[in-house]
């Protein structure tokens, strides 16, 4: 019995039990993670999970059931159970649920991978991780930590509408962190923490060894750096922090399930109003945000989403105007839209839901050097340390690991504990310079949903300048 057979059996059982639509995902995932601390391996884990998850639509009610067993009887039982759960949903019905049309498709897709990350000898990986922490300790870090993570996921998708798709994702990444402990506070500098749908070349390309000494030295210097001043100023963000800014204040805000209120009780809603899609100004004319799961090697890339919709790029924000959302087939139907393609699940045991794919900025006309040179008075911040945003994705406060004063077009003294706060559309409309130096950052820990799911998202981002931003908020 193939994995396709198991998925098909689950779908058929759901239909036999009364579902008008059903789909099933068989998934087999192997992961490996290693972390080192102060010259020793602190944790090494190799994990495996496999199972089938079935989604059934009975009337307007969804049901989902998952089991870690791909045998024919188990798959059929899961399909039947999913349909029964869906029937229970009908006792408290919501608005009528439909699915926008999706042509039946068969296909295969694999992420690019030059070096299979699970085939790299553990001894080589351990030597790298330990060596990184040794270097950071030698350069003054009280705590030196390094890590990598690898996911190797195979999926087989079958729907009652004729989809039959298999995909293989190899994802990995890693990073280093140096922490220096002072009398009243600790300071941290990190590097890397970058992930993609790529092989081990993703990690070697980061040049972690070449940055270990620098982050250690900077973490130590931060202990005696001047505090970030409080006030309103021009703010320059590095591309890594920009990725987080995009993720939190654009990516989540354009999730259609949030806009429709489906996440109201937990993750929250969105300040965006569907009636303004296509007309509302989100940011300055420099702001072009694309939803693009086709970027080779980016963490949010795929061939098909978890409903079988082929990957396709579209704008979310074009020249500052809000024009697109992240949608699934059911949410698009409710909203009257004709596209989906942004539904994913965190493994076979979780319900597919609207998630970010790659959501990021297109290149601007400037360089970081030009941005700094044209700033008379401002602060440059980079690398996220803390993030908080309200349940409508409007009011944010982000803290960065490091800042620098900008005076008369030049980088000045280092600043510790830099923070900035603002309101999403006001902030984005103040973006007056944007670099062309785009990096496709990957965030592997995006939380959403109940039960909780962790998503992998990509965010092309470049350094940018924002005007009149409140900085230096402290407790």
User: Is the Cβ of residue 39 or residue 107 nearer to another protein in the bound state?
Assistant: 39
Rounded to a whole number of angstroms, the minimum distance from the CB of residue 321 to another protein is 23
Helix residue ranges, H only, 184-261: 201-204, 209-222, 239-246, 256-259
40 or 369: CB nearest another protein: 40
Q: How many angstroms separate the Cα of 144 from the Cα of each of 213, 217, 461?
A: 11, 12, 28
Shortest distance in whole angstroms from residue 143 CB to another protein: 6
Please check whether residue 114 is in contact with residue 49, taking contact to mean a CB–CB distance below 8 angstroms. Answer: no
- The CB-of-107 to another protein minimum distance in angstroms stands at 27
**Minimum distance from residue 77 beta carbon to another protein (Å):** 11
Nearer to another protein, 46 or 106 (CB): 46
Nearer to another protein, 389 or 434 (CB): 389
Work out whether strand 164-181 and strand 106-110 pair parallel, antiparallel, or are unpaired.
Answer: parallel
Can you tell me the distance from the alpha carbon of 452 to that of 454, in angstroms, rounded to the nearest whole number?
7
Query: What's the token pair of residue 304?
Result: 């098909």
Q: Is the dihedral of CA 434, 435, 439, 440 positive or negative?
A: positive
**CB of residue 188 to another protein, shortest distance in Å:** 9
* CB of 330 closer than 8 Å to CB of 398: no
Asked if 354 and 309 touch (Cβ cutoff 8 Å), the reply is no
Residue the block writes with tokens 């839901």: 353
Q: Which is nearer to another protein, 124 or 369 (CB)?
A: 124
CB of 434 to another protein, least distance (A): 23
**DSSP-assigned beta bridge partners for residue 322:** 317
The kind and range of the H/E element at 424 are: helix 424-429
Provide the minimum distance between the beta carbon of 93 and another protein in the complex, in angstroms, as a whole number. Answer: 5
Helix (H) or strand (E) holding 189: strand 186-196
321-322 and 106-110 beta bridge pairing = unpaired
| DSSP class of 449 | T
- How far apart are alpha carbons 332 and 324 in whole angstroms? 11
CB 147, min distance to another protein, A? 8
In the complex, minimum distance from the CB of residue 260 to another protein, in angstroms, rounded to a whole number: 8
As a whole number of angstroms, the distance between CA 307 and CA 329 comes to 8
* Residue nearer to another protein on the CB measure, 114 or 468: 468
Closer residue to another protein (CB): 419 or 435: 419
Nearer to another protein, 159 or 417 (CB): 417
Helix axes 122-138, 209-222, angle to 10 degrees: 30
CB of 391 to another protein, least distance (A): 6
Query: What does the alpha-carbon distance between residue 24 and residue 65 come to, in Å, rounded to a whole number?
Result: 10
Q: Work out whether strand 453-461 and strand 439-448 pair parallel, antiparallel, or are unpaired.
A: antiparallel
Q: What's the closest the beta carbon of residue 382 comes to another protein, in angstroms?
A: 16
Which of 318, 432, 461 minimizes the C-alpha distance to 370?
Answer: 432
For another protein, which is the closer residue by CB, 157 or 197?
157
| End-to-end Cα, the chain, rounded Å | 60
Q: Which is nearer to another protein, 40 or 138 (CB)?
A: 40
| Residue closer to another protein, measured from CB, 322 or 420 | 420
Query: What is the nearest approach in angstroms of another protein to the Cβ of residue 211?
Result: 21
Q: Are 408 and 423 in contact (CB under 8 A)?
A: no
Give the whole-angstrom CA distance, residue 142 versus residue 216: 9
C-alpha 93: how far from its chain's center?
Answer: 32
Q: Which residue number, 120 or 295, has a Cβ lying nearer to another protein?
A: 120
3-state helix vs strand vs coil in the chain, percent to 5: 25, 40, 35
């Amino acid at each position: 019995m193939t994995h396709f057979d198991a998925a098909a059996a689950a779908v058929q059982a759901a239909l036999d039990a009364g579902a008008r639509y059903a789909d099933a995902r068989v998934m087999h995932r192997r992961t490996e993670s290693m972390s080192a601390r102060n010259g020793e391996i602190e944790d090494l884990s190799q994990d495996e999970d496999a199972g089938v998850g079935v989604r059934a639509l009975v009337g307007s009610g969804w049901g989902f059931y998952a089991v870690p067993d791909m045998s024919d009887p188990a798959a059929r039982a899961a399909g039947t159970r999913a349909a029964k759960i869906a029937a229970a949903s009908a006792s408290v019905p919501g608005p009528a649920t439909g699915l926008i049309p999706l042509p039946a498709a068969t296909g295969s897709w694999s992420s690019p991978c030059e070096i299979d990350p699970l085939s790299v000898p553990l001894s080589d990986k351990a030597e790298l991780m330990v060596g990184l922490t040794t270097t950071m300790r030698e350069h003054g870090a009280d705590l030196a930590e390094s890590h990598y993570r690898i996911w190797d996921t195979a999926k087989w998708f079958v729907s009652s509408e004729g989809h039959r798709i298999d995909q293989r994702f190899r994802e990995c990444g890693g990073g280093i962190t140096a922490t220096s402990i002072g009398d009243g506070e600790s300071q941290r500098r990190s590097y890397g923490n970058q992930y993609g749908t790529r092989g081990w070349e993703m990690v070697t390309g980061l040049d972690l060894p070449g940055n270990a000494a620098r982050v250690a030295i900077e973490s130590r210097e931060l202990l005696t750096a001047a505090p970030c001043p409080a006030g309103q100023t021009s703010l320059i963000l590095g591309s890594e922090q920009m990725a987080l800014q995009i993720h939190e204040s654009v990516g989540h805000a354009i999730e259609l399930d949030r806009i429709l209120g489906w996440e109201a009780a937990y993750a929250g809603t969105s300040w965006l109003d569907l009636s303004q899609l296509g007309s509302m100004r989100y940011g300055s004319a420099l702001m072009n945000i694309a939803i693009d799961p086709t970027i080779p090697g980016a963490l949010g890339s795929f061939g098909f989403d978890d409903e079988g919709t082929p990957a396709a790029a579209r704008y979310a924000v074009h020249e500052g105007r809000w024009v697109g959302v992240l949608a699934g087939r059911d949410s698009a139907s409710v909203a009257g839209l004709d596209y989906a393609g942004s539904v994913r699940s965190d493994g076979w045991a979780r319900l597919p839901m609207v998630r970010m794919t790659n959501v990021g900025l297109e290149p601007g006309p400037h360089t970081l050097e030009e941005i700094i040179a044209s700033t008379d008075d401002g602060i440059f911040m980079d690398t996220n340390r803390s993030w908080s945003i309200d349940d409508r994705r409007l009011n944010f406060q982000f803290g960065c690991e490091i800042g620098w004063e900008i005076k008369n077009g030049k980088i000045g003294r280092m600043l510790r504990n830099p923070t900035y706060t603002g309101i999403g559309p006001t902030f984005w409309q103040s973006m007056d310079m944007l670099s062309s130096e785009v990096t496709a950052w990957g965030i592997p820990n995006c939380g959403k949903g109940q039960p909780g799911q962790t998503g992998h998202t990509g965010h092309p981002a470049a350094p940018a300048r924002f005007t009149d931003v409140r900085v230096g908020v402290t407790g």
